[in-house]
């Protein structure tokens, strides 16, 4: 069995916690951080099962930059930073 290395972003929207894997572009939610994380794991498992059945899983992982390295499958694309910035867009609103 291989292990997939992912990044998880957590957001809070009202009383709901959102977990997102930017590498996979998959999202789940829950009423706590741990439930959101667990639901994200379930979403990934279900999506991967469906893609495997369709024969598209390897292509999906390759497009996301993932390559197997021993027992760990990780993306060659590395998220190195997040930044919160202010951008003037008043004339567009």
Domain that holds residue 46: 3-76
Examine the pLDDT at 89 and tell me if it is beyond 70: yes
Condensed to tens digits (0 to 9), the pLDDT of residues 66-78 reads: 988 888 998 888 8
What's the confidence (pLDDT) of residue 10? 96
What CATH number did the domain enclosing 51 receive? 3.30.160
CB 69 within 8 A of CB 1: no
Mean pLDDT of 36-56: 97
Tell me whether residue 20 is in a domain: yes
Domain membership of residue 72 (yes or no) is: yes
| CA quadruple 90, 92, 82, 9: dihedral sign | positive
Does residue 84 fall inside a structural domain?
no
Total domains present in the chain: 1
Provide the whole-model pTM. Answer: 0.84
Is residue 43 left, alpha or beta, with left meaning phi > 0 and alpha meaning psi from -120 to 50? Answer: alpha
């Amino acid at each position: 069995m291989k292990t997939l290395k992912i990044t998880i972003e957590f957001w809070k929207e009202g009383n709901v916690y959102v977990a997102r894997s930017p590498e996979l572009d998959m999202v789940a939610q829950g009423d706590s951080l741990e439930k959101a994380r667990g639901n994200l794991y379930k979403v990934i498992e279900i999506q991967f099962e469906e893609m495997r059945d369709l024969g598209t899983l390897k292509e999906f992982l390759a497009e996301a930059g993932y390559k197997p390295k021993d027992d760990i499958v990780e993306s060659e694309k590395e998220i190195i930073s997040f930044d919160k910035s202010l951008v003037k867009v008043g004339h567009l609103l």
